[in-house]
Amino acid sequence: MDYSILVNKSNPIANSYFDNLSLVECLDIDGNKISVEKTAYNMYINLSAYLKTKNIFIEIASAYRSIEEQQEIIDEFTKKYGVDYVSKYTAPIRTSEHHTGLAIDLALIVDGVKICENEDLLKYEDIFFEIHQSLSDYGFILRYPKGKEDITGYGYEPWHIRYVGKELAKYLYKNNLTLEEYVEKQLTKVIIFDWGGVIMHRDPVENNDKQAIIRVIKSFNPTLSDDEAWNVYLNSLIDENGIYISQQCDEVSKAKWVERLNNLGNFNASLQEFSEKFSAEYLSVGYYSDLIDYIYSLKDKCQIGLFSDLIYGCTPALNKQLDLSKFDNVWLSYQTGLRKNTLDAFILIENDLLVSPENILFIDDSTVNIMNAKKRGWQTCQAFGYEIDKIKASVTDFLNNR
């Protein structure tokens, strides 16, 4: 459950959010059945209990609202308060925080009298001040504070609280930030993933890229052993000028690579034959779909990038495994002409991103690549794709290191 989700006029809630929403049923101040997200409700109960020790009595006026219920609110408030009031205080459908189940509109009980109407609640600023002081201890924030109207898009609502979790709530309260300001700040952070080894299977994991390459070489010369076939491939990668084939994509360089392979492997494949076989075998290599789903889920928290050394023939497999349009930036060696074993490749990325190096997290399985990233001041996580828990922990630490 993403308790930091931002829902506003610029960020309508997605249907997929509701798949993981766990609601509990409770009663509002008038005894009507309502729903609240489970953790948010439990923390509200704790907040309410604490405030009672201060002789402050709160109840829930409203919480979770369906799309249909939000439309009813809009219609009711338009009749009651007018269009100008609704545009200032009421969210269009799909843009209301109440769709999340994490937002609660508070009502007060003062001297045994229920205070529910917004215009009446505004008269009890002293009570709300005490409430606001305690919110972060229970994971809540004042969602629409004074002085932030231009940022949140709404006027001051002392009754509207939002559950975001204790850690984030305390951070926002301490730094006087709205959720909009926090999310904007987070989006200046970038997490960059390697492809081979992190997303795609690599030796010693079964169904890996090394096995695919050996199959390619042996399909043209079956007399070679696995080790011999692998060495043919490794020894073919660098041309007479010391440039790797993974840095080249022109037809002349491709043809020279296949010529080197033919000579080293004692076979006679054409460029087309070898390229087609290479791409076909790479398409069969395994990959970590659960990690890919996790990478996509980071899109609303930070920028995501892909940084990989790969040969042009890997492109069909890359496109099969990943939707590159979901990445904010993609750096492939055969397009940039730079490999990760040189600092120039990392400098190129920094120039593209224009963010501080400490705001970049690089996830790669190679020690050399990780060391280069560290030399540039990047945050790093050395891991294989099957170490998804390690990757998630590193990402969480990076995003929470504010």
Output Rg (C-alpha) for the chain, integer angstroms: 28
Give CA 105 to chain center in angstroms.
29
H helices of 107-250, where? 118-121, 125-134, 149-152, 166-175, 179-186, 209-220, 226-236
State how far the Cα of 29 lies from the Cα of 26, in Å rounded to an integer: 10
Set 157, 181, 281, 350: catalytic member:
157
Contacts of 307 (CB under 8 A, 6+ apart): 192, 193, 194, 331, 340, 345, 349, 362, 364
User: CA-to-CA distance for 230 and 66, rounded, in angstroms?
Assistant: 59
φ, ψ for residue 350, nearest 5 deg: -60, -40
Sign of CA dihedral 199, 202, 206, 211: positive
Is position 157 annotated as part of the catalytic site? yes
**Where in 334-394 does DSSP place strands (E)?**
360-364, 379-382
Q: Which residues pair with 304 in a beta bridge?
A: 191
**DSSP category for residue 201:** -
Task: Name the pairing type of β-strands 140-142 and 33-37.
Answer: unpaired
Find tokens 């459950």 and name the residue. Answer: 1
Residues 6+ apart with CB under 8 A from 17: 5, 99, 100
Q: Which residue type, as a one-letter code, is found at position 263?
A: N
Specify the pairing of strand 160-163 against strand 140-142: antiparallel
Taking the CB of residue 9, how many other CB atoms lie within 10 A of it? 13
Contacts of 256 by beta carbon, 8 Å cutoff, 6+ apart: 239
Residue 325: HSE in the Cβ half-sphere, 13 Å Cα cutoff: 1
Class of residue 31 by CB neighbours under 10 A (exposed 0-12, middle 13-18, buried 19+): exposed
List residues with catalytic annotation: 157
